[in-house]
Structure 1
Amino acid sequence: MKVVIQRSKQASVTVDGEVTGAIEKGYVLLVGLTHSDTLEDVKYVAKKVAEIRLWEDEDGKMNRSIIEHGGDILSVSQFTLYAETKKGRRPSFIEAARPEVALPLWEAFNDQLRVYGLKVETGIFGAMMDVSLINDGPVTVIVESK
C-alpha cells in the first residue's frame, strides 16, 4: 500500500461535473493498493497517516498530527501509484490491485481513518476524477506499508 499525503488548505474531487468530496484544511490522500495488500497494511498506513507530524507547533516545527492540529481528509483511489516505468514508454500497472481487491481495502482504509476521529471525504473509486487542491507548504510525503 502506498499513500501520497499532500497537506492542503482546500481541496475537492469532481466527477462528471458534480463535487463528490470537499475539505478545507487537511490532507489530500492519493491511495494506491497492490495485489498483496491486506487489512494489516490498511491499519498500519491509516495509523501512520493519522499520527504523522506534518503540522507546525507554536515554535514553527512540524510537530503536530492532523488529529492534534485539526483538519479533514480527502481520500482518492489512485491505482497509477503502482505504475512500472522501467521498460519502454508505456507504464505497466500489473502491480496495482484489481478493483475487486482494491475497493474493499480502500473503503476499509477510509473507515480506519474515521476510527481516529477524522472526517473523511472521498472521490469515486474507478471514476475519472478532477482533483483540485491548494497545496499548503507545499508539504507532500509518501507513506508505504512495505
Structure 2
Amino acid sequence: MRAVQIRTFGEPGIVLELADLPEPPAPTAGQVLIGVEHAPINMNDLYLIQGVYPVRPSPPSVVGNEGVGRVLAIGRGVDHLKVGDRVLVPLYSFSWRERLVAPAASLSALPEADPRQLAMLGINPPTAALLLNESIDLRPGDWV
C-alpha cells in the first residue's frame, strides 16, 4: 500500500517520502476499512511534518490530518454503515495513505457531493467558525 510518510521531522520538501507499507489489518468489531479518495494539504499538516504541531506522531509515521474515502469492509457490530458509503476520515488518523482502519462509531455516511470538497470538512469549517466567533468582533450589519 502506498503512503506518504516522514522518518524525521523537518521541512516538508525534504522529509516527505512515498513509501510502500503493509496493508492495514481487516477491521475488527466496531471498525471499518476506508479507501482514502482525497486527503488535502493544510497548514496544520505542514506544521505536523515540521514537528511543531501539538499532534506529534512518532516517526516513521504516515502524515495527513483529514480526508474522505469509501468504506471497503466492515467489522462485526457495525450496522449504520455499508460497503461503498463515503465517510470523512477521522481527524488525525494520518490520512495520506491508500487505506486505513477507523472506529465506526465516529463515522457517518456522507451525501453524494464532490469528494474534493468533502475532504476538507474536518478542518476548514470549524476553523472558520472559530475565527468568526472568537477572533473577529462582528456587529449587526457587518459583512463577512
- Shorter-chain TM-score range: under 0.3
The two structures have a TM-score, normalised by structure 2, of 0.24
- Who wins on radius of gyration, i.e. which is larger? 2
Between Structure 1 and Structure 2, the one with more strand by share is 1
The two structures have a TM-score, normalised by structure 1, of 0.23
